[in-house]
């Protein structure tokens, strides 16, 4: 996957959705499955934080509720957070995973 800011149509970007604001895709997904996603970016949320994420690749974008289940902190700028998807919303992710 490409690092944030690089142009790569295959990269899956992720943004925290906040009511009244345009989503800012500050994360790049380093792994995505129907169960979870591993996101790398400049801001890590806390374990247990629930939010709506907008995941996009090229012209496909989906918004689903999620929760942070793991935070991996590294010294070299490669820190990531793992988010989990609900059973009810996993089917919405299928277009991104195709």
Q: pLDDT (tens digit, 9 = 90+) per residue, 42-98?
A: 889 999 999 999 999 988 999 999 999 999 988 776 789 999 999 888 889 988 888
Range 13-97: architecture per CATH: Beta Barrel (2.40)
96 in Cβ contact with 57 (< 8 Å): yes
Q: What are the boundaries of each domain within the chain?
A: 13-97
Q: Is pLDDT at 9 greater than 80 in this prediction?
A: no
Distance between CA atoms of 88 and 65, rounded to whole angstroms?
10
Q: For residue 50, give the H/E element and its range.
A: strand 50-57
Triad 46, 52, 53: Cα angle to 5°: 85
């Amino acid at each position: 996957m490409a690092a944030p800011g690089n142009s790569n149509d295959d990269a899956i970007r992720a943004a925290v959705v906040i009511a009244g604001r345009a989503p800012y895709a500050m994360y790049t997904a380093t792994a995505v499955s129907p169960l979870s996603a591993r996101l790398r970016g400049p801001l890590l949320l806390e374990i247990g934080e629930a939010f709506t994420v907008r995941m996009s690749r090229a012209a496909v974008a989906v918004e689903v509720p999620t929760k942070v289940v793991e935070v991996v902190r590294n010294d070299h700028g490669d820190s990531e957070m793992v988010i989990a998807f609900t059973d009810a919303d996993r089917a919405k992710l299928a277009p991104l995973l195709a």
